[in-house]
Amino acid sequence: MSSTHRLRWSHGDATIVTTAAMLTDATFGLPNGPFKPFARAPWVGTVSDPAIVGHLRVLAGDFVGLPFGTGGREAPTLPEWSELMTQPANGTIHGPAAHEEWTIVSADERSITLGLDYEPHSVVRRLERTISARDGSPALEFGLRIFARHKASISTGLHPNFRLPEKPGRLELKVDFQFGLTHPGQTAVGDPQEFTSLASVPMNGGRVDMGHIPLTPRTDRNIQLCGVTSTLTGTYLDEGAGFELDWDRNLLPTLMFWHTDGGIGGEPWRNQFRAIGLEPLASAFDLHTDVSTGPNPINKRGIRTSIDIDPQKPLEIKHSVRAFAT
C-alpha cells in the first residue's frame, strides 16, 4: 500500500509517494510567485491496476531507474546499434526502483529517506533515496545510495520530468556537451545520428531546435547528450521563472531528453502525457543494461554508459533542482 509524505520549508513544499519513491508534486516560492516546474500525469491518484508498472501509476516529477531502460528495441537504419539490440525486454522498465513500493526509513518536514531491498539474485542489494529541502532556497536535493551484493557494472539513470508549456518553443534549455545522438530507434533513413548543437537536431530529413520546446508539430523524440560539462537550465520564457538541474557528471556523464508530447497511447497514457524528461545517465539510451555494460558506440568514444558498484563501499549519486526567477 502506497504512503505519502509532504515536505514543507521556507521556500516551498513537495509531495513524495512510496511507489517508485516518486516526487509527485513540488511548488517553489519565488519572488514573483509560486512556481511548479515538474510534470504530473493527469491520471496520478486514479490508477490502481497492478498490471500497470509502479512509476507509470504515479508518473510525475522525479524517480530513479536501476538498471535503467529495457530491451526489445530495434535500430532499423543503424547497423552499429542494431547488432547490439537483440535482447528481449528485461522485465519492468527501469528496474525495481521504478516499480516497487519503497519503505520510509526516516522523515520530517525537511527531508525523507526511503529504502528498497532488491531480489536475492540481483547484483544490487539495496537502495536508499533521500529527498531534502535546501535550507533557505527554492531547491530540492536528491541522494541515491547503492549497496552492492558483489562487484558489477550496471546501467543507472535519474529521471526528472518537467512540464511542457502550451506554446511551442517557450521552454528554453541550455547545457554544454561534447556530442549528441538521436535515439537509434528513431533515426530516419538518410539522417545523420550525430549533432553538436541543440538548435540543429536531425529529424526526418530536416533539423529541429530542441533547445526551444515543445516542438511543432507535436511529436515524441529522444536524444542523448554525451560528455555533458555543465548544469542544465530550463527557462519558461512566458513565466519569468526557470530551473537548474545539477548532478554528478563524473558518474552520470550523459543526459537523455525524453520529449513526449501526447504521443503515447494505451493505458494509462491515452495520449495525455506531455513532459520533457531530462535524465542524467550512465546508460546507452533506454536500452537493455547489457548494451550499456558492453561495448557500444557511446562508450567506445570514452563516455561511460554504466557505473561500477562494490559491496565494500556504497556508491552515492547526487542531483538537485533549483528554481529561479528571471
pLDDT(89) > 80: no
Mean pLDDT of 154-179: 98
- Band the pLDDT of 90: cuts 50, 70, 90: low
Mean pLDDT of 12-38: 98
Cβ–Cβ < 8 Å for 144, 20: no
Q: Mean pLDDT score of the chain, rounded to an integer? A: 96
Task: Give the pLDDT score at 85.
Answer: 87
Cβ–Cβ < 8 Å for 24, 161: no
Mean pLDDT of 138-167: 98
Task: Give the pLDDT score at 289.
Answer: 92
pLDDT(317) > 80: yes
pLDDT(108) > 70: yes
User: Which residues, other chains included, contact 278 with Cβ-Cβ below 8 Å and sequence gap of 6+?
Assistant: 160, 161, 162, 173, 232, 234, 245, 255, 256, 257, 258
Task: Give the pLDDT score at 231.
Answer: 98
* Percentage of residues in the chain having pLDDT higher than 70: 99
pLDDT(91) > 80: no
Cβ–Cβ < 8 Å for 65, 98: yes
If one compares 1 and 154, the residue with the highest pLDDT of the two is: 154
Domains (range + CATH), the chain: 4-325 (2.70.98.10)
pLDDT(57) > 90: yes
pLDDT(267) > 70: yes
Mean pLDDT of 116-144: 97
Cβ–Cβ < 8 Å for 165, 305: no
